[in-house]
Every structure is written in structure tokens, then in C-alpha cells.
Amino acid sequence: MINDPVFQPITINKLEIKNRICLPAMHLNMAEDYLVTDQLVDFYAERARGGAGLITVGFATVDELSSGTTNIGAHKDEFIPGLSRLAAAIKDNGARAAVQINHAGKNSHSMMIGGKQAVAPSAVFSRMTRETPRALEIDEIPQVIDSFAQAALRVKKAGFDAVEVLAGTGYLISSFLSLLTNQRTDEWGGSYENRMRFGVEVIKAIRKAVGEEYPILVRMNGNDLMPQGVGRLDLQVFAKNLVAAGVNTININVGWHDAKIPQIVTSVPRGAFGYLSKEMKQQVDVPVITGHRVHDIETARELIGNGVCDMVAMGRSLIADPFMPEKARTGRKQDVLHCIACAQGCFDHLFELEQVRCLCNPKAGREAECLIEKTKTPKKVMVIGGGAAGMSAALAADEKGHAVTLFEKTNELGGQLHLAGAPPGREEFLELAKDLAQQIQLSGVELRLDETVDEGCLDTEKPDYVMLATGAKPITLPIPGVDLPNVVQAWDVLTEKVQCGKKVAIIGGGAVGVEVALYLAEKGTPSGEAIKFLLINGVETPEDLVKIATKGTKEVVLLEMLEKVGKDIGKSTRWVMMQDLSRYGVIVKTQTKASEITSSGVRIEIDGRVEEIEADTVVLASGSKSENAFQSVLERKGIPHQIIGDASQIALAYDAMHSGFDAGSKL
């Protein structure tokens, strides 16, 4: 595109950046004892090669209470050499480099900071850590402010082009700002002016330390999204004060970590929070960056081109495809692998104290070990099954230099990704199916659709190696009545092969059961476009529109034997889906056993009682089992092979993608 706004240069203070794409700071859990590792260098160097204009690493600590040792350290001079190596890796590969510095405050768990108690403006219980921090003494506050300044100076000495201060997300600076966490009665609490003081003084101290020409960015909330928290208008006032204190760019973040409004998952529309940066641009005279669900170049172009923001922060997008900027710049947007906001490899891994990985990109965080060298002994490889595992395996084996043929018995690629993408707000999984299918088309893989592999096919093809990625099939429960005409499988519901009546009972409260419940509960509700029309024209009140948007035409009951539903859903996504079950009126019955299906519903056992749930349709969502019957044929014929994805073990889409890649790349 001529004069593409995404690829116009921009200047922050006196720092010229080649385009409007910023990789924001993201905790990766890849540092060791606060030290920069080879893994971190490789991760960021790859994204610099991919074409991002500005890469911000971190957050980096300003003192030992800031966060744990898997964060990058900036609180001692001994960390400068590692920081310098990281800065050079980014700059030498074509991007500008910045470090985000931060103090996590109440969000520092004692386990992460050597058993010490976290500090905060006030001793207010933290829902994040389930601990209570101690209130900073008044004489400690100037010391913390100075620690920010000294960390920024180390960043500059290390050769980074800019420093960014994290002043949102419920961390220390935004904790001072909010009445929820700041109950002080001295000059650091009380009035809003007093509560802004800590953040403003941090910026003043940094500006004094680094000089007038060194760029200072601030990543702050556009809205805390917390009940009785700081809203967008007050945060705009805070931003103006920060700019007056010396900030050169405002990078808009959204929400505290413990906010009950979704911010990052698939149900959040792309670019949904752009309005916050649009309003901020009207209040400050410095560049404004927006992020959160800017997962494709088209959204970025629309936001920048329409004056909503000056730059876009594309974090998980560049984990999924580091080369998205360069592909878009050179007209290869069809080759982009988009992030689907599933959070399975990034946020969910952090909750498990693991390093960040990516469902879509098995190389993320493993850049060095996943360098694929062409084989000297290419094989004729047959991949059976075109789901996530099969496509991932085929692409990796093709990259390795093998002659690969991918067989899929249906007329489209994607497998269970089509099931995952059926429920409301989960459509991004369908995009992954499309992206992977496009990658197959662009590769050297020979694709055979509508072909079922049998012994005759093996005899004709004579493969040297076979990867069996035939997936799974749903389990049919061994309970009376399961063969009645009112009983259907969850997979058939999600693929619209069957219709359900008004009253629906779902047996099985795992991920698929929850997805089917939400899919059915939304039936009969207006589209987002219709709700916008009704709202703008004042047809109904906003309060009534919420009810209209969440009241469908079906009565859905979800039955689960365990004590809770959705136990196999990742932590980042599960709370959102549980919230939606409640909003859409799904009746959830846990510790409930379905003992018999009848023509009028389901007979259940709960707390020693027998009850009957009325249902026009009974949906079986009781799990799945591996489909690998063809393995015996391969064994009998002595063909070397490997079973991958759900055909080997039922797991998440993340596991399917990674097992496929590992099998193909190691062949």
C-alpha cells in the first residue's frame, strides 16, 4: 500500500522509529537471577529481524521488592552488561530498543521476593497474591522514587534507546493513584492531586537522571476497569501531569490484572479499546500508543489511519508471528500467522510459573533450538489428518526438506479447530485453521483433500515415514437411553449438523460442554451490530439492552459429576467463560450424575436424591478418545511412523501444534 500509515516513521523526543509497530513489554519468565539469558536475546533478536519499529523488553525491576528473579533486573550495576547485550541484539537487527521499568507493589508475591513482604501505599489485601502488603513508610517513598531514576539511568548506560515506566495494571504507581489501594492521609494520599504525586515524582526524577533528550515513555491504564477504581477521565488528567513532568509518549494499557472485565481473550473484539487512546490523543500533545487485541495489520492500519492512535502495541501478535511487520510491508500478508488470543501458551504458562510459549508458533521462546536445518537424507513423508497437529507436522517436515503429502478425509483442513471456533467469542480459532491452511498452500506440501488413507493407498504411495494425526472421536456414555432420538453429540451441535430444541441438557462440564452451553445460550440474541443500532437510536435503555443481549431462546442446563465445570480450560479464559455462563442464564449443576436419559429429559442423582431434568434435546459432551486404529496397519506393514496430537493423547490445541512441530522438525 502506498503511504501505508503503519509504515511511516515517527519521532519520540528525538528518537526516529522506522514504523508505527511497537512490541510492548511482556513478562516472559526467561531471565535467570535477574540476568539476561541467551534465550531472551534470541527471542528479541528474532522479533527485531521481523520488522517491528520499537521493541520494549521487561518489565525490569527497580529494586529487590519489585518482582521475582525471572524478571530482567535493572536495580544493580551488575545487570548492565546483560542489558547491553540485549540492546545490541535488538538494534543490530534493525529495531529501536527500550526497557520498561516497574515496581509490582502489592502484586509481588512473597514467594517471588525471597519470602519478604510486598510493599504498597497501604496495607490492603491483594486479590492477586492473596497476601497483604505492608504500607510504605513515608521516608521510604523517596528511596523508591530514586530507585526508578537509577534503574532508568542503567537502562540508558546499557545502550537502550528509551525507557518506559509502567504506571498501570495495579502495580505500585497505579496503586498510589487508586482509592482502592491508597488509604494514606499524608501528602501521598487523600486528594487526587496527592495520589498522582508518586507517579509524577517518579517521572521528574527519571528526567533529571537521564537528561532532556532521552525518550521517556509511560505505559498506563486508559481505564482501570475496577469498581470504584480510576476511570478514563481521571486517567487523562494523570497523563497530562505525566507529560508536564517529562513524558514523551503515552502507551495505553487497559485494566488491572484482577479486573473482572475481559481484556485479552478471544471474546474481546479486535481494537475494542482503541477509543481510550483516541480520547487520550485529544488531551496530550505527545504520541499515543494503543494495544490490546491489535492482532492484525488491518486493525493497526485502521486505528492509525483514522487518528485513533499514533502507534500500535502488538505483543502476542509478534509472539505468534515475529515477521508480521516485514510480511505486511513487503505485500505478503497472506503469509501471516495470526495470534488467536487463546492465552494457552503465554498467560496460562505464566500462571503455572513456566516460560512463555505460543500455541500458534511452536518456535516462540525456543528460537535457537528450533532452527531447522535441511536434512541430507530427505524422506517421502505421509501425514494422515489435516487438523492442527497434522498441519503443524507437515509444515515442519517440509521446512526440513522432506517430500511431504498431507491427506485429509474431509474437504477442508482444520479438524477440531472448527469445533473450538464455533462458540461465541471463539471465532479466532477458525482464523488459525485458515492461516495454517494458507501456510500449507504456500509450502511445498502436496495436499490431498477428500481422501481416506487405506492399505491400498499405502501400497501406492510407498512412504518412508508416516505421521498419524487422525485426531479423536467423541465418547458415547454407557448409560440407559443414550441411543434415543433426542440424544446428540456436542461435536454435531457445534458443527450445526443437528438442531436442538428449546430445553437442552448437556451431559459433561468440561471445555466442550461449556462451549456448547454458551453456543446454545446465545441463540436468539441480537448481533453486536443490532445492539449498536438499538443503543444509538435510543430504542431501549442500556440496562435493558444488556438483558436483551444475554437472554436467548433456549433453556440450557449443564451437568457435571465433578465439583466444578471447565477444569480443563486455561486460567486466562476459564473465568471469562464462567462469567458468561452466569450472564446467559445457563443452569450449572455440579457433583451431578446422569443416570438415565429418557424421551423427556435426563434422570440425575444429586446429593443422594433422584431428580429429572426436562429436556427436548440431550447433548453428550463427555469427552473424547484417541482415533488411531490405523496404527495397527502401519505396524503390520512395518512402516516407520509416529502418532501425534489427539491421536496419541487427548490434550489442548497447544499440545497438538507443538507435538506436530516437534515430530516434523526432528524427522
pLDDT along the chain (667 residues), means of 10: 90 97 95 97 97 97 96 97 98 98 95 95 93 97 98 98 97 97 97 98 98 97 93 97 98 90 83 92 96 90 95 95 96 92 85 89 94 94 97 97 97 93 86 95 96 94 96 92 95 94 96 94 94 95 95 96 90 89 95 94 92 95 92 94 95 93 95
* Confidence at residue 346, expressed as pLDDT on a 0 to 100 scale: 87
Residues 146 and 103: their CA atoms lie apart, in Å, by: 12
* Confidence at residue 186, expressed as pLDDT on a 0 to 100 scale: 97
Helix or strand run (H / E) with residue 466: strand 465-468
Cell reading at 274: 482503541
Contact indicator for 388, 653 with CB cutoff of 8 Å: yes
Give the fold, CATH level 3, of 487-622: FAD/NAD(P)-binding domain (3.50.50)
Tell the burial category of 300 from Cβ atoms under 10 Å away from its Cβ (0-12, 13-18, 19+). buried
The pairing of strands 311-313 and 21-23 is: parallel
Cell reading at 20: 508505527
Contact indicator for 217, 22 with CB cutoff of 8 Å: no
Residues 432 and 420: their CA atoms lie apart, in Å, by: 10
* Confidence at residue 265, expressed as pLDDT on a 0 to 100 scale: 82
Listing DSSP states for 292-334 in one string gives SS--SHHHHHHHHHTTS-SEEE-SHHHHH-TTHHHHHHTT-GG
Residue 287: helix, strand or coil by DSSP?
coil
CATH 3.30.300.10, domain 5-351, yes or no: no
Q: What is the pLDDT of residues 480-498, one digit of tens each?
A: 999 999 999 999 999 999 9
Residue 280: helix, strand or coil by DSSP?
helix
Question: Omega of the bond prior to 148 within 30 degrees of 0, cis?
Answer: no
Q: What is the pLDDT of residues 431-479, one digit of tens each?
A: 999 999 999 999 999 999 999 999 999 999 999 999 999 999 999 889 9
Give the fold, CATH level 3, of 380-474+626-665: Rossmann fold (3.40.50)
Residues 69 and 60: their CA atoms lie apart, in Å, by: 10
* Confidence at residue 377, expressed as pLDDT on a 0 to 100 scale: 95
Domain locations in the chain? Answer: 5-351, 380-474+626-665, 487-622
| pTM of the predicted structure, to 2 decimals | 0.93
End-to-end CA distance of the chain: 40
Q: Which residues pair with 603 in a beta bridge?
A: 596, 612
Helix or strand run (H / E) with residue 656: helix 653-665
* Confidence at residue 569, expressed as pLDDT on a 0 to 100 scale: 87
Please state, rounded to an integer, the average pLDDT across all residues of the chain.
94
* Confidence at residue 387, expressed as pLDDT on a 0 to 100 scale: 96
Residues 264 and 315: their CA atoms lie apart, in Å, by: 11
- In the chain, what is the greatest distance between 2 CA atoms, to the nearest angstrom? 83
